[in-house]
Chains A and B, each alone.
Chain A
Amino acid sequence: MIIRILGEGQFRLDDSLLDRVNKIDNQIVNHVSQGNKVEYAKDLANLISTVKELAEPLDPVEIMPSDIIIPPSDMSFEEARKVFCGEGLIKG
């Protein structure tokens, strides 16, 4: 499975580890919907460090689409909320 962390490139992650990623993803959904900024920031950092720890960086020579896209590490709570509202990360 190919994962992209926005701003940091692509990684190759073993499919069996997808559950761990999904679990944090669900937690982030909860934090954003409940307005829990502190936990959101914690779990976003956790998500990114987990992927970096478990996955291998993809050789930049390879050109392929990703299966999963992870937001940039500096994505603010307000930006995350906009993503949920369908407004997108960046206008335009």
Chain B
Amino acid sequence: MGFLDRMSTVVQAKMNKIMDKIEDPRETLDLSYEKQLQLLQNVKRGVAEVTTSKKRLELQKAKLQMSLDKLDGQAKEALQAGREDLARRALESKAALQAQSATLDQQIADLNDQQQKLIAAESRLATKVESFRTKKETIKAQYSAADAQVKITESVTGISEEMADVGMAVQRAEEKTENMKARSAALDELLEAGTLTDYSGSDDLDRELAKAKASSSVNDMLAKMKEEMKK
């Protein structure tokens, strides 16, 4: 059995769930329509969730960028004060943060992809639901009981497949945002708890740098005084 046949089986199982417990054909149309409207609401919620998660990661990314800039500045100041060891420490921290930053970029790109796909799915589904609504009224009004049954089966099967597809897409998006939420919360915790602030905020580095700057200015002043006394 091919891979695609198996995919059809997976989708068919989902469709059966969507279509089950419906016996009266005319009721089928209305029930299916109600479910479609519910699903549309779900997709909208899904889009909102993905959008929120993306914004959250973008904020985190901005915070990380600030830390990176700060470390860069510290490395420069350390070099100016003649403390290559401190500059090296700042740059080591910067490299560690850069790795985090690259991961965040990837996650933001992934979420963006999800967001675009869900927005497109929402629009396709909305069009189909509207088309189904018109069709269901036509079927009810124009077809004899026997013909109606065939038409109903056709359109309900078609729309159920769309619903199975969109339902799975929303579920996948939700799983992804859940995973990212967990990881992003972990990163937040690290930033808060100071594991990363030790790198980036680096009170320690700040203190040492201040000392180095002070001592280099003391050296400057001493040199100046010595010069003056020679005169």
Spell out A's residues near B (CB within 8 Å): 4, 6-9, 21-22, 25-26, 28-29, 32, 60-66, 68-72, 74, 80, 83-84, 86, 88-90
For B165, list chain A residues within 8 Å (CB): 4, 6-7, 9
Among A32, A65, A69, which residue has its beta carbon within 8 angstroms of that of B7? A69
* Leading 5 A-B pairs by shortest Cβ distance: A63-B158, A60-B127, A60-B124, A69-B7, A25-B2
Among B3, B13, B117, B154, which residue has its beta carbon within 8 angstroms of that of A7? B117
A69 touches B8 (CB 8 A): yes
Among A9, A63, A68, which residue has its beta carbon within 8 angstroms of that of B155? A63
What is the total of A-B residue contacts with beta carbons within 8 Å? Answer: 89
Spell out B's residues near A (CB within 8 Å): 2-4, 6-11, 13, 113, 117, 120-121, 123-125, 127-128, 131-132, 135, 154-155, 157-159, 161-162, 165, 168-169, 171-172
| Closest residue on chain A to residue B3 by CB atoms | A28
Give Cα A74–Cα B155 distance, bound, in whole angstroms. 29
For A32, list chain B residues within 8 Å (CB): 3
For B161, list chain A residues within 8 Å (CB): 4, 65-66
Give Cα A22–Cα B7 distance, bound, in whole angstroms. 14
Give Cα A6–Cα B49 distance, bound, in whole angstroms. 20
B6 touches A9 (CB 8 A): no
For A28, list chain B residues within 8 Å (CB): 3
Question: When A60-B124, A63-B131 are in contact, do A7 and B169 touch as well, CB less than 8 Å?
Answer: yes
For B125, list chain A residues within 8 Å (CB): 60
For A25, list chain B residues within 8 Å (CB): 2-4
A6 touches B3 (CB 8 A): no
Give Cα A9–Cα B2 distance, bound, in whole angstroms. 21
Give Cα A64–Cα B158 distance, bound, in whole angstroms. 4
For B158, list chain A residues within 8 Å (CB): 63-65
